[in-house]
């Protein structure tokens, strides 16, 4: 089936990047943009981001994950370490995160190196999650092939009874990754496709700022 999308477009005009007043650290700029997106009632999940990894077959693979913390070191998300993304990161630490806040006409692209966070921090976050989500992490062998008629709901019920009134243990193969950025690009939609683009690149511990052509 063919779909012609060549006439689908919109013009952008909501905002601009002030190139005369830029922070030295891109994480400061990210926090400003993220805070604005968070307080906008137009963005349902500002913390949703695309995570791209490189698999053993050499192909990139993207999926949506949830940002759970930003700090001076980088960006943290949580997942099953035995999932496809976990195995990909084990083989190649280089990843790319992307945020697109459509109503704000903004995009942020982050290239970085992913590494596991300390177990204690993963424990703390795991036990902040709803109990149902904790049980789900025990049940799901993420990315493994399962039967079409597998009843995961029944497994959840059984484990819920088993751990009723008890602390659910965090699986050893579940935890967080910290993505340490080496490059962050900010994109702001502008009229006539003359978009504002700003790239921060890490160079010997210092951030270099460059404006890019649309």
Binding residues: 9-12, 63-68, 78-79, 85, 107, 125, 129, 133, 142-143, 187, 193-195, 197
Instruction: Could you list the residues known to form a binding site for FMN, using ranges.
Output: 63-68, 78-79, 85, 107, 142-143, 187, 197
The residue annotated as part of the active site, out of 14, 193, 208, 211, is 193
Residue pair 110/179 in contact (Cβ under 8 Å)? The answer is yes
DSSP class of residue 31? H
Tell me the two tokens of residue 56. 């053993």
Residue pair 171/129 in contact (Cβ under 8 Å)? The answer is no
Compute the distance between CA of residue 92 and CA of residue 86 in angstroms, rounded to an integer. Answer: 10
**Angle between helical axes of 131-139 and 152-162 (0-180°, round to 10):** 120
Compute the distance between CA of residue 172 and CA of residue 31 in angstroms, rounded to an integer. Answer: 31
Tell me the two tokens of residue 11. 């013009």
Instruction: Could you list the residues known to form a binding site for substrate, using ranges.
Output: 9-12, 68, 125, 129, 133, 193-195
Rg of the chain over Cα atoms, rounded to whole angstroms, equals 20
In sequence order, what are the residues at sequence separation of 6 or more whose Cβ sits closer than 8 angstroms to the Cβ of residue 173? 80, 81, 82, 86
Does the annotation mark 193 as catalytic? yes
Compute the distance between CA of residue 61 and CA of residue 15 in angstroms, rounded to an integer. Answer: 31
Mind telling me the catalytic residues?
Answer: 193
């Amino acid at each position: 089936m063919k779909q012609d999308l060549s006439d689908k477009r919109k013009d952008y005009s909501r905002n601009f990047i002030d190139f005369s007043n830029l922070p030295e650290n891109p994480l400061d700029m990210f926090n400003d943009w993220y805070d604005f997106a968070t307080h906008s009632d137009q963005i349902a999940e500002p913390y949703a981001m695309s995570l791209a990894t490189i698999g053993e077959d050499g192909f990139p693979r993207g999926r949506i994950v949830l940002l759970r913390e930003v700090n001076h070191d980088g960006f943290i998300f949580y997942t099953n370490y035995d999932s496809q993304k976990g195995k990909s990161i084990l083989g190649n630490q280089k990843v790319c995160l992307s945020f697109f806040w459509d109503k704000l006409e903004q995009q942020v692209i982050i290239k970085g190196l992913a590494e596991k966070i300390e177990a204690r921090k993963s424990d703390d976050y795991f036990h902040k999650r709803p109990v149902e989500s904790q049980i789900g992490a025990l049940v799901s062998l993420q990315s493994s092939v399962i039967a079409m008629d597998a009843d995961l709901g029944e497994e959840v019920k059984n484990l819920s009874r088993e751990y009723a009134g008890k602390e659910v243990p965090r699986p050893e193969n579940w935890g967080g990754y910290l993505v340490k950025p080496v490059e962050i690009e900010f994109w702001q939609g502008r009229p006539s496709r003359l978009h504002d683009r700003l790239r921060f690149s890490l160079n010997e511990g210092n951030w270099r700022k460059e404006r890019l052509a649309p």
